[in-house]
Amino acid sequence: MTFVAPHLTYRHVAQFVEDFLAKFHPSLQLPIPIEGIIEFDLGLDIVPVPYLYKMFSQSGFLSADRTKIFIDEYQYDNFVEKYRFTLAHEIAHFIMHESLYEGLSFDSIQEYIEFIQSMPQRELYWYETQGDWFAGQLLVPTSQLEKFCIDLLESNRDQFSDSKNLSHEFWSYASNELAGPFEVNPIVIEIRIQRESFAEKFKDYYQKNQ
């Protein structure tokens, strides 16, 4: 079987995310209720698996028939931010990679691992990278991230307004401060800020808004 993942750009993935949110969570109220969307809107089962990461180095995976998401049990019980990202990543495969699952029939974790290992490295890269792009954009919608960045800039005007340009220090601070409302790890916010070029967009914010 030839496995060819679609070579989608970051912006192509953004369109999938926009369509998904418009259909399932148009209010964009935070945090994005990814678990509820999966179970109640999409009708998928979330199945915790003991030692999935410890034994197989997998945080989660989508079943061959696309009806279940298997998730590492320890992550499920202890790391809500990572758990949410894993769910969103697997939904990326459900939404964007449906054709790749046609004809697949892995029935065990080992068979899934063999399936992953059989992929050409270039295709595996696109498959997983698109999953991460989708997850980041889904859990941290651009419009909400921009709004929260502006709110943070305003609430820290006294501390940072003397800076000629906003430094990396501010954006590192922002990533940690904004992770909470979105219920993601700070690195997800950091990557989203980079991908949306917010550091460049807001570098002169205080000079322009005095």
Strand 45-49 to strand 68-72: parallel, antiparallel, or no bridges (unpaired)?
Answer: parallel
> Beta strands of 106-158 (E only): which ranges?
none
At 45-68, the pLDDT tens digits run 999 999 999 999 999 999 999 999
> Beta strands of 3-123 (E only): which ranges?
45-49, 60-62, 68-72
Q: How high is the mean pLDDT of the chain?
A: 92
What letter represents residue 152's amino acid? L
Structure tokens at 28: 């964009």
Query: Smallest Cα–Cα separation from 3: which of 106, 122, 107, 90?
Result: 122
pTM metric for this prediction? 0.94
Query: Smallest Cα–Cα separation from 82: which of 113, 57, 60?
Result: 60
| Structure confidence at residue 163 (pLDDT) | 66
At 172-209, the pLDDT tens digits run 889 999 999 999 999 999 999 999 999 999 988 888 87
